[in-house]
């Protein structure tokens, strides 16, 4: 909803509203041409998953709701990406933990009080994009109040990306014009940017800017084809008449937005928008014997005419010409580009109606009562003590100048994690230990300010699992040779220290044996090999804190590892094979593994994964990262935290 201006006695606010509407209609084509094809700032949100978010969650309120619904529809229909619209009210509460893998895209031209409810949990999302007409360079005259400024500053400090509509808040009248069109174009720009990052074809969202301009400029002529200028138009939109918008071929997804334009621009009850197929399921019967006005939206594009005319013929056959007035608004652009064209067409409908009725969209009815709902806006969040940096790219996703720059900036400690490709029962994939090692490395790098994580060494010493198909094993001397060469490579590139740990317990003995030799071979690089066996105790403690039996954690493929994998790689756990394995008694763990685990557990599982849950996996992983961070600070000090005693290790 736009913000009302006070009017002096005797001023013709209705005429001022019509003049404001005309000026914004004239300025809209230029404003849209100035919007960029892509949004480079979105790159800040793409790491560490370079393919982008798991799900796009779009929201908006008032005029912006149509943009959010259209955005989600285009993302799904044109690209096959998981996307959904969520009402702003549904986002008032903190989202589920899985939101950390999703993006929240908020459309709000004026950063309205009610839209801010969706932004109060910005830290809970993997990325936040705000599509707005306001920026920190605006002033109060442009609609940027001190409260909105504090919101923009807090969101920017939290890493949110602002996409500029380029038209300000567009206050002064109830109806928005430029922003109502620009919201669609900005949404396409975001989607093109994601497609570009994924090397996907965004051809469906490419268009000729002159064609978009021409469609907007020609709007008066297109409207006149349906509503001749020689006849009054206000009677068609009289509040006493039922008004319906009908469409097909996907046009209905932005027709709902057009109904709000009618409500705000003509000050009449908001009509309903329907797919033409839906008309026979209730709406027809409700108007069968009463006067009604119907607008059919026919989009352009290749092959559009024949199908639309066929449906129009069927629609006409259901109507009574003595009661029902059907008008057809024909666009020239295909879906989804027709969204902007129909905005222009409906702006013309509003302008002509206001000329006849003299209604006032500057001092509009009910303006004094709006604060009852606006006054419950959430308080602006406090600024974080430090600006949130963009999520870090994985080592292998960087380019060499970026690594060189990181080392030059002081990140001279390499983090090295060892994994394994080995059996983890019938329910966990062979890559479990490697995935966990990579996650530990990423979490550790995020907690330190002087270190860079390299990719986990995937294959380790796993002879104890070779009796299970799929396990890959290298001898300890092979692993030592690989680590020696990796450390020498890192030293050559300017790294001065290395912190080495394992996420697979089968590597521990090999690391202990090679400790002195590897340290000598790595000089002048200083090497810390972390093998303190405390992870098992940590696992039992955090599982018990979750009200589960400590024995369920298991030293191999139990509840702990299964919950972590369910969090890291949703959908990879074979839930139909989640059954308890051998429950390990205190002190017998290592004796069960060697020389082969299989005689001691036919399934390959030690522990009980049957009650695993992804929501616990995140906390489990954090506890392990904290053990490693404490060991790192003990070894090297600093690193962005206080020193702590040596506590780290690995599970099998």
> Is residue 132 a contact partner of residue 85, using CB atoms and an 8 Å limit?
no
Task: Tell me the per-residue pLDDT of 419-467, one tens digit each, with 9 for 90 and over.
Answer: 999 999 999 999 999 999 999 999 999 899 999 999 999 999 999 999 9
Least confident of 178-192, 220-234, 385-399, 607-621: 385-399
> Is residue 111 a contact partner of residue 61, using CB atoms and an 8 Å limit?
no
Cβ contacts of 228 within 8 Å, gap of 6 or more: none
The secondary structure of 565-634, three-state, reads HHHHCCCCCCHHHCCCCECCCCCCHHHHHCCCCHHHCCCCCECCHHHCCHHHHHHHHHHHHHHHHHHHHH
As a whole number of angstroms, the distance between CA 229 and CA 223 comes to 9
Domains 35-206 and 402-636 share a fold: yes
Given a cut of 50, is residue 237 above it in pLDDT? yes
CB atoms within 10 A of CB 223: 22
Instruction: Name the helix (H) or strand (E) containing 327.
Output: strand 324-330
Work out the average pLDDT over 88-116.
90
pLDDT on residue 2? 44
Could you give the 3-state DSSP secondary structure of residue 131? strand
- Cite the beta strand spans of 56-152 per DSSP E: 56-60, 83-85, 103-107, 127-132
pTM: 0.69
- 554: left (phi > 0), else alpha (psi -120 to 50), else beta? left
As a whole number of angstroms, the distance between CA 572 and CA 429 comes to 7
CATH number listed for the domain at residues 35-206: 3.40.50.10490
Map tokens 């779009």 to a residue.
58
Contacts 24+ apart (CB under 8 A), 191-196: 191/71, 191/74, 191/75, 191/78, 191/79, 192/37, 192/38, 193/38, 193/39, 193/40, 193/42, 194/42, 194/52, 194/79, 194/81, 195/79, 196/38
Domain ranges of the chain: 35-206, 211-366, 402-636
Helix axes 559-568 and 614-636, enclosed angle (nearest 10): 100
Tokens of 639: 């690193």
pLDDT on residue 309? 67
What's the chain's average pLDDT? Answer: 88
Least confident of 42-56, 321-335, 345-359: 42-56
Task: Tell me the per-residue pLDDT of 25-63, one tens digit each, with 9 for 90 and over.
Answer: 999 999 999 999 999 888 888 765 446 788 999 999 988
Higher per-residue confidence, 142 vs 21: 21
Given a cut of 50, is residue 290 above it in pLDDT? yes
CATH homologous superfamily, domain 402-636: Creatininase (3.40.50.10310)
Could you give the 3-state DSSP secondary structure of residue 38? coil
Indicate the class that CATH gives domain 211-366. alpha beta
Which band of pLDDT confidence, cut at 50, 70 and 90, is reported for residue 639? low
Taking alpha carbons only, the member of 39, 68, 48, 47 closest to residue 56 is 68
pLDDT on residue 392? 63
Could you give the 3-state DSSP secondary structure of residue 400? helix
pLDDT on residue 533? 58
CA-angle at 501, arms to 496 and 504, nearest 5°: 155
Task: Tell me the per-residue pLDDT of 516-528, one tens digit each, with 9 for 90 and over.
Answer: 999 999 999 999 9
Which band of pLDDT confidence, cut at 50, 70 and 90, is reported for residue 384? low
């Amino acid at each position: 909803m736009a913000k009302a201006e006070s009017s002096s006695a005797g001023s013709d606010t209705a005429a001022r509203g019509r003049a404001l509407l005309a000026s914004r209609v004239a300025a809209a084509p230029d404003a849209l041409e100035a919007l960029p094809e892509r949004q480079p700032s979105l790159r800040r949100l793409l790491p560490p998953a370079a393919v982008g978010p798991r799900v796009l969650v779009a929201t908006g309120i008032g005029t912006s709701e149509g943009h959010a619904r259209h955005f989600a529809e285009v993302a799904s229909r044109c690209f096959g990406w998981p996307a959904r619209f969520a009402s702003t009210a549904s986002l008032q509460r903190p989202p589920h933990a899985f939101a950390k893998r999703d993006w929240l895209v908020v459309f709000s031209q004026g950063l309205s009080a009610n839209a801010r409810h969706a932004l109060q949990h910005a830290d809970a999302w993997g990325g936040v994009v705000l599509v707005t007409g306001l920026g920190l360079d605006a002033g109060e005259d442009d609609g940027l109040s001190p409260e909105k400024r504090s919101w923009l500053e807090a969101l920017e400090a939290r890493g949110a990306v602002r996409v500029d509509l380029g038209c300000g808040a567009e206050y002064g009248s109830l109806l928005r014009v430029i922003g109502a069109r620009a919201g669609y174009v900005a949404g396409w720009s975001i989607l093109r940017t994601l497609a570009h990052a994924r090397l996907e074809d965004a051809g469906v969202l490419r268009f000729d800017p002159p064609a978009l301009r021409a469609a907007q400029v020609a709007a008066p002529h297109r409207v006149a084809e349906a509503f001749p200028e020689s006849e009054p138009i206000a009677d068609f939109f009289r509040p006493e008449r039922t008004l319906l918008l009908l469409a097909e071929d996907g046009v209905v997804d932005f027709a709902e937005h057009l109904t709000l334009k009618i409500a705000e621009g003509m000050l009449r009850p908001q009509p309903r928008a329907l797919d033409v197929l839906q008309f026979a399921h209730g709406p027809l019967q409700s108007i069968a014997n009463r006067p009604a006005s119907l607008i059919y939206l026919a989009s352009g594009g290749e092959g559009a005419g024949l199908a639309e005319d066929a449906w129009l013929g069927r629609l006409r056959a259901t109507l009574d010409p003595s009661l029902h007035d059907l008008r057809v608004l024909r666009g020239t652009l295909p879906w989804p580009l027709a969204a902007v064209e129909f905005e222009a067409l409906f702006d013309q409908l509003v302008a002509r109606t206001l000329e006849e009725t003299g209604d006032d969209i500057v001092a509009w009815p009910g303006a004094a009562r709006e604060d009852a709902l606006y006054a419950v806006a959430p308080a602006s969040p406090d600024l974080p003590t430090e600006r949130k940096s963009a999520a870090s790219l994985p080592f292998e996703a960087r380019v060499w100048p970026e690594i060189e720059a990181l080392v030059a900036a002081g990140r001279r400690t390499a983090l090295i994690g060892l994994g394994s490709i080995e059996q983890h029962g019938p329910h966990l994939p062979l890559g479990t230990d490697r995935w966990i090692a990579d996650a530990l490395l990423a979490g550790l790098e995020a907690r330190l300010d002087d270190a860079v994580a390299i990719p986990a060494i995937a294959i380790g010493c796993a002879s104890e699992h070779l009796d299970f198909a799929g396990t890959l094993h290298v001898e300890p001397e092979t692993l030592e040779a690989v680590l020696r060469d990796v450390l020498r490579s890192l030293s050559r590139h300017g790294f001065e220290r290395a912190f080495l740990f394992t996420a697979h317990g089968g590597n521990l003995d090999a690391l202990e044996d090679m400790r002195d030799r590897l340290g000598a071979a790595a000089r002048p690089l200083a090497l810390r090999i972390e093998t303190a066996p405390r992870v098992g105790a940590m696992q039992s403690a955090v599982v018990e804190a979750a009200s589960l039996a400590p024995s369920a954690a298991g030293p191999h493929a139990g509840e702990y590892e299964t919950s972590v994998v369910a969090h890291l790689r949703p959908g990879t756990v074979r839930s139909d094979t989640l059954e308890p394995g051998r429950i390990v008694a205190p002190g017998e763990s290592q004796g069960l593994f060697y020389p082969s685990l299989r005689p001691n557990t036919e399934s390959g599982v030690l522990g009980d994964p049957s009650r695993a849950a992804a929501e616990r996996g995140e906390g489990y992983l954090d506890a392990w990262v904290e053990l490693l961070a404490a060991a790192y600070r003990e070894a090297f000090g600093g690193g962005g935290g206080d020193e702590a005693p040596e506590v780290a290790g690995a599970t099998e």
